[in-house]
Amino acid sequence: MHRVLMVEDSKMVQQVLRHLASQYLHIPVDFAASLRDAAGLIKNNKYTIALVDLNLPDAPNGEVAKLTLKFGIPTVVLTGSIDEFKRQQMLEMGVVDYVLKENRDSYIYAVKQLALLLKNQGKKVLVADDSATSRTMMRQMLARLLYQVIEVEDGQQAYELLINDRDIKLLMTDYAMPVMDGFELAKKIRSKRGRDELAIIGISGSGSQSLSAKFIKHGANDFLTKPFLPEEFHCRVMQTMEQISLIETIKDAANRDYLTGLYNRRYFYSYAQQYLENNNQATCLALLDIDHFKQINDTYGHQAGDDVLVELSEHLQAYFSDMLMARVGGEEFALLMPNCAMEQAFEMLDNFRFKLSSTQIDAGEHLISVTVSIGVSEYLGDSLQDLINHADIALYDAKGGGRNQVCQYGSDAEE
């Protein structure tokens, strides 16, 4: 589990950092006020990242940063003053970043940096450069940012990896490489992977001022000229990845139902269509409808109805955690069940239906008993629309048969 260490001797600043950590980090944070306290905490805990004051009463010369770095903890430094010597000293030590203590915004920036770094953990970055020295330097700097780094020495190798591994989120590519240069690589991969899922930073040791514009026109998000300062490298990478993260957040919000947080109808149908086109294994699709939902709204109010929808969504996510589900109508939900033949899907859905019928939902001042009717159909090579229509027919039969039951399309009941 991730854990953050913050070392700061000022109680007032500690209070500010505690508040900001609760807003942005949402993981355990330990505080120390001295080098001695920090050493004790490090001895007994494993930390993902640290935010440390450069000047402490018992460590006035950055000793606490040296301690955290010695234990391999990526470290962001807080400092009350900065000069060129101190800045160079910190960068040579290998700190991720430094933040000048000026006002509350400085602390917000520092904690947001920690949040961004935590998001980096496990994300894959591909470095394409024919120079082993350059690759090593970039790998070391990216590792400080908690990325998982993959290296290749030419554009063709990079292209093949990027096509086959969609988990690679950032490409750092040199311009002059054998087989396929950086321009061609950026242009070719952009036809396969858009800016919303892959960031590209072009790199070159050439002094040509036109290279940056050419790289960006060929699909790169940004450009760096060798030799670059570690500080500039860090800023460019972090800003580029923050943009990708913001795009992902916006896309995800557009694909979600505002109330329940489940996917919406549009995303469900789009994903299900792609899934059926690319997979041949047994698959079922279920439609679930809350019984007498209008009566719940009329009796207890619309807020209670919303509470029922939210809690039902939570039950669905807990029970069908590895399946795609969506709210596709007011009180109707859809569930895509991969690797499930009809018999298995029916059993799972009926168990869920029974468990839900035995549970009371907390809707503010009321405990409400809720049941669902479910229709399920099996994919037999027909279209997605046919699959949905068949599940809808089965749902209609479940409603007509008395509700609180599962009906399958194609059973004797439908014939």
**H/E element, 289:** strand 283-290
Following DSSP, what letter does each residue of 226-250 receive, concatenated?
SS--HHHHHHHHHHHHHHHHHHHHH
- The answer to whether 375 and 398 have CB atoms below 8 angstroms apart is yes
> What is the spatial order of strands in the sheet that 148-152 belongs to?
148-152, 124-128, 168-174, 199-204, 222-225
Smallest CA-to-CA distance from 337 within 324, 328, 346, 347 is with: 324
- Provide the 10 A C-beta neighbour count for residue 269: 17
In whole angstroms, give the CA distance from residue 133 to residue 80: 35
| Catalytic (active site) residue 248 | no
Q: Which amino acid does the sequence have at 120?
A: N
**Number of helices followed by number of strands (H, E) in the chain:** 15, 18
Q: Using the structure block, give the residue that is written with the tokens 């004790």.
A: 40
In whole angstroms, give the CA distance from residue 304 to residue 354: 22
Torsion sign across C-alpha atoms 140, 141, 143, 149: negative
- The answer to whether 285 and 335 have CB atoms below 8 angstroms apart is yes
Q: Which amino acid does the sequence have at 87?
A: R
Catalytic residue among 8, 151, 311, 331: 331
Smallest CA-to-CA distance from 236 within 256, 207, 215, 266 is with: 215
Residue partners of 290: CB distance under 8 A and separation at least 6: 296, 308, 309, 312, 331, 332, 370, 371, 372
DSSP helix/strand/coil, 74: coil
Angle between the N-to-C axes of helices 155-164 and 182-190, in degrees from 0 to 180, rounded to the nearest 10: 20
Which residues form the catalytic set?
331
